[in-house]
Structure 1
């Protein structure tokens, strides 16, 4: 049973890496487990330590605590859990973080967008339009 669970977890991590490589970063990769100083399951999700979870019973509080610890070990500012949604593909999974982490991320995004607007307003407009279309 443990091997079947491990195989499911490995398959989920591999599927996430493939998705991240196609849609986010070609450098995404699975990490080697580090024991007490684990740095997350996946590297290459910008600014995040990723804890990938594909379990029947979902325990968000445990996942978030683990992701936040691993973000510290990885030297990343944010941790998140990427949880497999049963009977769905990778794009329908859930990215989960606590409100504290999400507010820090949104504050950073706001500050960076304001800085880009000040520096190169036309570039900001182009990127804004591109990302609005993607939604």
Structure 2
């Protein structure tokens, strides 16, 4: 008899990959599990090792510890968990990381934006305008 929890997790991973392919990276894909050196469930979320979680009981500390460990294995600077929100689709799920990881990500974004703005201000303004749509 198939494992329903595994099937639910696989379905969630597949939905995330579909969303990433449409909105972020057409090359996103599910990873093959690597055991002790696992590199996350999904490849293709820029700069991240991604853990997909679709569980009734949410344990954020476990998810983040796992994502951060797998980011090291994957050679990615950031780890995150994409947690399913009950009765909602992928766009309403949660991307979760610890504050230290988020601050490192925001510092990188800030520094990269400052660099682009200094060497190509017109390109910066164009990209900035494209990404300022309201949530």
**Which category describes the TM-score, using the shorter chain as reference length?**
over 0.9
- Counterparts of residues 35-50 of structure 1 (less than 5 Å): 35-50=35-50
Whole-Å separation in 1 of the counterparts to 2:89 and 2:2: 23
In the TM superposition, what is the alpha-carbon distance from 1:85 to its structure 2 partner? 0.2
Tell me the residue number matched to 2:58. 58
Whole-Å separation in 2 of the counterparts to 1:72 and 1:23: 26
Whole-Å separation in 1 of the counterparts to 2:131 and 2:37: 36
In the TM superposition, what is the alpha-carbon distance from 1:2 to its structure 2 partner? 7.3
CA RMSD of aligned residues (A): 1.1
Residue deviations 1:52-73, cap 9 Å, x none?
A: 0000000000000000000000
Q: SS at the partner of 1:76?
A: coil
Q: Which has the higher helix share?
A: 1
Residue deviations 1:66-116, cap 9 Å, x none?
A: 000000000000000000000000000000000000000000000000000
Tell me the residue number matched to 1:117. 117
| TM-score, structure 1 as length reference | 0.98
| TM-score, structure 2 as length reference | 0.98
Residue deviations 1:5-56, cap 9 Å, x none?
A: 0000000000000000000000100000000000000000000000000000
Whole-Å separation in 1 of the counterparts to 2:24 and 2:106: 18
In the TM superposition, structure 1's runs of 4+ consecutive aligned residues that sit over 4 Å from their partners are none
- Unaligned runs of 5+ residues in structure 1 are none
